[in-house]
Amino acid sequence: MSKINGTRTGCKDVFHSFLVRNAKYDGILEIPIILPESSMPNRLISFSKAMKTNDYNQWVHFYEDDGGFERVWNKPEIYLPRLKKFRGVITPDFSIYRDMPLVMQQWNTYRGKALGHWWQTKGLAVLPNVRAGDERTYDFCCNGITPGGTICIGSHGCIKIRTEREYFKQGLLAIIKRLKPTCIIVYGATPDDVFLEVKNRGISIIQFDSEFSTSRKEVHS
């Protein structure tokens, strides 16, 4: 559905309603919808590093500590001109921890999609990040994403510990069941015990090493 978020005279827009002005929404939580994007990343750079580079021939990702990119939510207008210089962006990966109150997990899902919608209205190429927690998140984490397209996920830091690995795998399977993507952009490793079913379904996987992994390879080379 769609609605127009009107301005309220004398009220400061503390919840950034301008980001979703004229947005279409998905689900009972009204998560802003990200339109399908056909462009694909050639290289990835974290938001923090993107703020310091002159190499714009790559896509910006947010698979890093939330503290490194919370500022893009607080003051999105400030960072828009710089983000527009890059080939595209992946929507922010605001954390969804299982021990967070569920409403905070929902809020972080909303925030990522709200920024993604706004960036699209400003002419940026945007691909949707999907982050699942436990089974309570499987429905709303997929809201705002058109099935049958390209999605992005981050495995870095999520599959080293056995328990976390299993939660990540079950979340991934729930995501592909719901969204039926044709392609998945993965930031981090794609071990067979986690991604084999994805591969068996014929879903294309484009994998990018994490910056941590790349730095370790450079040290040992």
pTM: 0.91
Beta carbons of 177 and 142 less than 8 angstroms apart: no
pLDDT of residue 160: 87
DSSP string, 166-196: HHHHHHHHHHHHHH--SEEEEES---HHHHH
More confident residue, 13 or 122: 122
In this prediction, residues 86-105 reach a mean pLDDT of 96
Quick check: 156 and 189 in contact, CB under 8 A?
yes
How does pLDDT run across 133-190, given as a tens digit for each residue?
A: 999 999 999 999 999 999 999 999 888 888 999 999 999 999 999 999 999 999 999 9
Which uninterrupted H or E stretch holds 205? strand 204-208
Spatial separation of the C-alpha atoms in residues 119 and 126, rounded to whole Å:
7
- Helix crossing, 102-121 with 76-83: angle to 10°? 50
pLDDT-derived band at 218, boundaries 50, 70, 90: very low
